[in-house]
Structure 1
């Protein structure tokens, strides 16, 4: 009887842990090169989430949790698995919709990432490309475009 209770307790604990890990839904991270409208490399994200500028210098990192860190390792924001973009204080400042539209805190479209990796500004004009892109990387690319200072493809006013 005690063994059965122990096994049931372990099974319940495992079920709770499994549910909690599924609820955390990390974002996908992979190597992507970002190019401007002229085709010049303006930065990249390495497979470990390191964000690099056009010179190859590390300027930050994006973690699978969606947290974006600057070059000093400080959290400057986060993109959540539901697409909400938050600043370093946790306030909602935008979102990435399931169709790739990037919205500011007022809900206005400021850009878009097409399924082929084409990056468009708020007017719909092509302003860059994310090479190595797939739709599973949408949150990662949106976070980098939103937070990385050296990646100014969308000409967004960066939230601080």
Structure 2
């Protein structure tokens, strides 16, 4: 997992950006993550971006953090704010578990209560959407 990959869907030779739906615990749409890393709220307003190099930007394209190739999440000053482990465990900077991203896309808090779903979205991107942008709230 050296770089985050951008997935483009081709239809009739035309590249289209596909959006994966982010759902809250009630399975209502909380937002979307497009294959180019654009993060939108439920009204399709852009709230941020995840660039192919792992840079996390706010809606104004100001850098607010980074996703490193080893799953480390950093803030704009490169201080570690969390980790996404290969098994989907999400930890804060002190390595305390704050959530889980299951293989079926279910997102759980530290008590294993479901807080949402993000089917077909990379674990790191899901962690950013739920635990950084807090789209499920």
TM-score (norm 1): 0.73
Residue 68 of structure 1 contacts residue 147 of structure 1 at CA under 8 Å; is this kept in 2? no
Q: Name the counterpart of 1:143.
A: 128
1:42 aligns with 2:19: no
Relative distance call for 1:65 and 1:88 in structure 2 (3 A) is: same
1:104 aligns with 2:92: yes
**Equivalent of residue 74 in structure 1, options 46, 62, 70:** 62
Give unpaired runs (5+ residues) of structure 1: 1-23, 154-160
Distance 1:38 1:29 in 2: 29
Residue 45 of structure 1 contacts residue 52 of structure 1 at CA under 8 Å; is this kept in 2? yes
Distance 2:92 2:100 in 1: 12
Count of aligned pairs between the two proteins: 126
Which of the two has greater strand per residue? 2
CA drift at 1:144: 2.3
Relative distance call for 1:109 and 1:29 in structure 2 (3 A) is: farther
1:26 aligns with 2:14: no
Aligned CA RMSD, in angstroms, stands at: 1.6
Pair member with larger Rg: 1
Give unpaired runs (5+ residues) of structure 2: 8-18
Q: Could you give the per-residue CA deviations for residues 99-132 of structure 1, whole angstroms, max 9, x where no partner exists?
A: 0010001111100100000000011111111033
In the TM superposition, 1:109-120 aligns within 5 A as: 109-120=97-108
Distance 1:38 1:72 in 2: 30
Distance 1:132 1:33 in 2: 9
Distance 1:146 1:51 in 2: 13
